[in-house]
Amino acid sequence: MMTLIHRFSRLRRKATTLARQPRFILVWMLPVWLLLGIGKALIFTLSFRRLAPYLGCRSGVAPWVPLLAPAQERRARRIGQVVRMTAGYTPWTSNCFPQAIAARVLLGLYGLPYALYFGLRRNPDDPNGMTAHAWVAAGRVRVTGGHSFGRFTVVGCFVARSLAGVPGA
C-alpha cells in the first residue's frame, strides 16, 4: 500500500513540476521524447560509420566551440534544458549519446551552430577499461553532457555544416 501512495505522490510531484515549465519545454517534450527513442534505436541498429554523416561535419579532434549571439545562447540553453528533462521521462536509458543526437537535431532545426564531441577517459574502477562520453556545446552553453572538457580527452568532433563551410547549409 505504501508503494502505491509513494508512486502516486511521485507522479503528482512530476506533473506539478512539468506544469510549471515554460511553453518552449512543454511544446518540445513529446518531440524530444520521440527523438531520444529514435536516437537510441539508431545507436543500436546502425554502425557509427553510417550514423556519423548525420551528426555534422567531422572536424578532427581539436576541441573548439562556435560563438553565438546572446539570443542564440538563450535558445541553446532551453534546448539543453528540454533534452535533459525529457531524458528523465523515458522508460529506456537516455544517456549521453541519445541526448547528444536529440540536441544536435534541435540545434540544427533552429539553425544554431553546435559542436558534438566524443571523448574517452580511463575508468578509475577498472585500470584496463575506458569510459566513453558524448556532449554538445553551442557557444558558452553546455547543451548536453555537462562539464566534459576537463574530464574527457576529445577523440572526435562534429560541427554544424554551416561552421564547416559546406555550401547550402
List, as one string, the DSSP characters of 20-63.
Answer: TS-HHHHHHHHHHHHHHHHHHHHHHHS-HHHHGGGT-EE--S--
Output the pTM of the full model. Answer: 0.85
The pLDDT value recorded for residue 38 is: 96
Closest C-alpha among 101, 99, 120 to residue 55? 101
At 166, is the pLDDT very low, low, confident or very high (cuts 50, 70, 90)?
low
Cell digits for 15? Answer: 506533473
Tell which residue, 134, 30, 4, has the closest CA to residue 89: 30
Query: pLDDT for 7-59, tens place per residue?
Result: 888 888 888 888 888 899 989 999 999 999 999 999 999 999 999 999 999 98
| Domain regions of the chain by residue span | 22-159
Nearest to 56 by CA among 121, 5, 101: 101
Mean pLDDT of the chain: 89
